[in-house]
Amino acid sequence: MKIAFIGLGNMGGPMAANLANAGYAVTGFDTQNVSIDGVTPAASAAEAAKGADVVITMLPNGQILRAVAGEVIPAMQKGAVLLDCSTVDVDSARAVADQAKAAGLLSLDAPVSGGVGGATGGTLTFMVGGSKPAFAKARPLFEIMGQKAVHCGEAGAGQSAKICNNMILGVTMIATCEAFALADKLGLSREAMFDVVSTSSGYSWSMNAYCPAPGVGPESPADRDYKPGFASELMLKDLGLSQMAAEAVDADTPMGQAALDLYRRFVEDEDGKGKDFSAMLPRFEKRGRG
């Protein structure tokens, strides 16, 4: 199977390297001059896509995905799979899927969770939207780049699953952080908070697996001075996508909106940019109600 990989950044670079290491012929393209061991560079996205069985994209946003899809779809051979692993808005994912279908191609939207560590270690989780035949064709690649691929439904279902999950994550992280800050002011130790909440009805992944308090619970970015991890600006992006989707389908998501507003303030007006999204705890810690 010949693979083209477009977008060799923090995530795409190691994902492409893992496919090359597994013995696939991988041709890569990125607008930045990057070189990845085992990946043959191409002069353009279209050139990389020519003759490929699967074209993988791992790009910053929906606008860039639409532009790249416009270049690669005409260059792809009929029956090939366009596999987008970027996190983008649901509308862009569906628009690209329609364009691919009209050109006689298969396509999947398959955003990931697991971050750069997951991309490097080949342990990503893929949330996948698209047809069953397309999913079956891409499955061997998911097995190399990740540890789990969930087929969520038709085109756009992968992006929908991802933004709903990350909306819950943003909201629960904020709730966990504000509760820790309140507990501090009530004189409760962080160890006691963790011991109680992690085994009580307030538990969540944010508390139990990714505790925002340093020195408490399993090791997390809080123990590394909030070096990401999952950067606040990426959480901001995903919360923005979830509100964009909510507006499009008239869904009432007040907590998602509140989380978006808080992460926007944190990233744009406070010192949150470049910090892990769990750095909301030191933010709350320093504040009063005013």
Residues 78-117, mask of contacts with ligand NAD (x by CB under 6 A): --------xx------------------------x--xx-
DSSP state of 223: G
Binds ligand NAD by CB under 6 A, chosen from 1, 2, 9, 150? 9
Q: Which residue is listed with tokens 């303030």?
A: 265
Six token digits for residue 29 = 């393209």
Q: Provide the 10 A C-beta neighbour count for residue 257.
A: 16
- CB nearer to ligand NAD: give 90 or 183: 90
Q: Does 32 bind ligand NAD (CB under 6 A)?
A: yes
Question: Please, how many CA atoms are within 13 Å of residue 276, restricted to the half-sphere of its CB?
Answer: 24
Q: Does 244 bind ligand NAD (CB under 6 A)?
A: no
Binds ligand NAD by CB under 6 A, chosen from 3, 4, 5, 11? 11
Site for ligand NAD in 195-234 (CB under 6 A): 230, 234
* CA–CA separation, 203 and 221 (whole Å): 19
- CB nearer to ligand NAD: give 151 or 162: 162
Counts of helices then strands in the chain (DSSP H, E): 12, 9
- CB nearer to ligand NAD: give 44 or 198: 44
Q: Does 59 bind ligand NAD (CB under 6 A)?
A: yes
**Is residue 162 flagged as an active site residue?**
yes
- CB nearer to ligand NAD: give 149 or 193: 149
To ligand NAD, the closest distance from the beta carbon of 154 in angstroms equals 21
Six token digits for residue 203 = 């538990």
To ligand NAD, the closest distance from the beta carbon of 15 in angstroms equals 9
Strands 124-130, 106-109: pairing kind: antiparallel
Of 82, 86, 131, nearest to 112 (Cα)?
Answer: 86
Of 86, 28, 82, nearest to 61 (Cα)?
Answer: 86
> Cα 13 vs. chain centroid, distance in angstroms?
15
> Cα 19 vs. chain centroid, distance in angstroms?
19
- CB nearer to ligand NAD: give 64 or 103: 64
* CA–CA separation, 108 and 1 (whole Å): 17
Site for ligand NAD in 135-174 (CB under 6 A): none
Torsion, CA 273, CA 279, CA 281, CA 286, rounded to 10:
-50
Catalytic-labelled residue, pool 101, 148, 162, 185: 162
To ligand NAD, the closest distance from the beta carbon of 124 in angstroms equals 8
Q: Which residues sit at the interface with ligand NAD, rule CB under 6 A?
A: 6-12, 29-32, 45, 58-60, 64, 67-68, 86-87, 112, 115-116, 230, 234, 237
Active site residues: 162
